[in-house]
A and B are shown apart, each in its own frame.
Chain A
Amino acid sequence: MIKRDLVIVGGGPAGMAAAIAAYENGVKDILLIERDQYLGGILNQCIHTGFGLNYFKETLTGPEYADRFMRKICSIPDIEISLKSFAVRLTGDKTLTYLKPGSLNEVRPKAIIMATGCREKTREMIHIPGTRPAGIFSAGLAQKLINIEGLLPGREVVVIGSGDIGLIMARRFMLEGARVKAIIEIEGKSRGLVRNMVQCVEDFDIPVYFNHKVLEIHGKDRVEKVSVAKVDSKMNKAAGTEFDITCDTVLVSVGLIPENELIEMAGVAIDKKTNSPVSKEVNETSIPGVFVCGNSFKVYDLVDSVTADSELAGKLAAEYLGSVR
């Protein structure tokens, strides 16, 4: 059993900002674990611009934003970084178990900050009927395939939902030579930032169907088409408005939910509706010394807000450690 003052789970923008802030507020014994082989988290696949306008007063791409924090954190020897380290269990006394290639490790810190981010909602969560052919992706998975792996998931795309990742991926598919045939949004307006409706959708003349929903996904081995209809005020299909769109790919971009399985395992109270920890103050949980920051606390629109919130979590953890020492 390893003992530490502070363990941080997650090496994305939240975990890095929390670690640096904790260090700057006096914590000198920090272990940060990250499951990927790189720091940076989801920013590495967000190659578009628009990050950092609040925090750095300039507009950066995701990898550039991450790079600034990576450089800083790698220059602090008191922060140990353990990559390829996958957290699998957390107990109420803050014992964390994590897997690393070739080893199973246990660490019991005095305080822990969870910076585990969020996950995309899936097709199953919004109950879209139909078959289960190849060609259905969450927008973020398509982003990883295109921007990290160099694979184009399809040629004719329909996007379900108008979240920012879906809009950004619609543009990305167009730039890569695919055709985005429609964005289908059940609400009357976009869920994404209005600037993304301009620079990702209007710039590429992509048709958007507001107040419409996908009734069914068709296809045997591969997606062949989707059936779409207008919805009434109760979100039910308006009779006589059905039409089909042929496509080989469906992207699902219908929102994000905080990832909090580990703290739930430890007995932290979770709001089942939002999947956020129940707490009086930002970043705190029902267990003293267990903090949650960034998108695992609540889903933010901007990474700048994630950084600010996570710096606060680092400071809170430092204050907590000062009080229990």
Chain B
Amino acid sequence: MIRNMICIECPKGCALSVDIDNGKVVKVQGAKCPKGAAYAALEVQDPVRTLTATVSSEGLVLRLIPVRTNKPIPKKCILKAMEEIKKVKVKAPVKVGDVIVKDLLGLGVKVVATRDSGAMTRPS
């Protein structure tokens, strides 16, 4: 069976033609780089996405801290993950890369801050 899909690994958006046999990818055509084949394999087995969102803060300069998962998570878990992330409240200052959620939904994936919570000022 041939399945057509667009690779989303980079802005080029290669149109892939994926030959699937018995649930496994046997051949990928149309990819301009090796990421395409890896993307197609995951997309057929268990599609994953990096989730970005915000968490609310209390007593910090920024009202919201933008966050991301440090690895892609299964697409089917995304709405559940949003529910978890919405429960979080950050009270102590954080820096880019600081861990906000240690283990999201038991997936072994961290949620990390993508912006410093305080204003960026010149070190004095």
Contacts and interface: CB of A to CB of B under 8 A. Distances in A.
Contact of A193 (B13, B64, B119): B13
Interface stretch (A179-187, A197-205, A229-237): A197-205
A48 B52 contact: yes
A64 interface: yes
A193 B11 contact: yes
Interface string B109-124: 0000011100111110
Contact of A39 (B56, B96, B120): B120
Nearest to A48: B52
A67 interface: yes
A150 B63 contact: yes
B114 to A, nearest CB: 4
Contacts of B56: 150
Interface in A41-93: 44, 47-50, 53, 59, 61, 63-64, 67, 70, 74-75, 77, 81
Given A195-B11, A199-B49, A47 B114 contact: yes
Contacts of B7: 195
Contact of B54 (A47, A195, A198): A47
Secondary structure dominating the interface of B:
loop
Contact of B6 (A48, A49, A147, A194): A194
Contact of B50 (A49, A146, A175, A176): A49
Contact of B115 (A49, A63, A149): A63
Contact of B114 (A38, A39, A53, A64): A64
A152 B101 CA distance: 23
A24 interface: no
B112 to A, nearest CB: 10
Contacts of A198: 5-6, 8, 13
Contact of B64 (A49, A147, A302): A147
Contacts of B6: 194-195, 197-198
B13 A64 contact: no
A214 to B, nearest CB: 27
B10 interface: yes
Interface in A103-128: none
Interface in B44-101: 49-54, 56, 63-64, 66, 68, 75, 78-79, 82, 96
A97 B115 CA distance: 31
A63 B64 contact: no
Given A53-B11, A203-B75, A175 B120 contact: no
9 contacts: A40-B120, A47-B66, A47-B114, A49-B68, A59-B10, A59-B50, A63-B115, A64-B114, A195-B8
The 4 closest A-B pairs by CB, nearest first: A194-B13, A63-B115, A47-B66, A195-B8
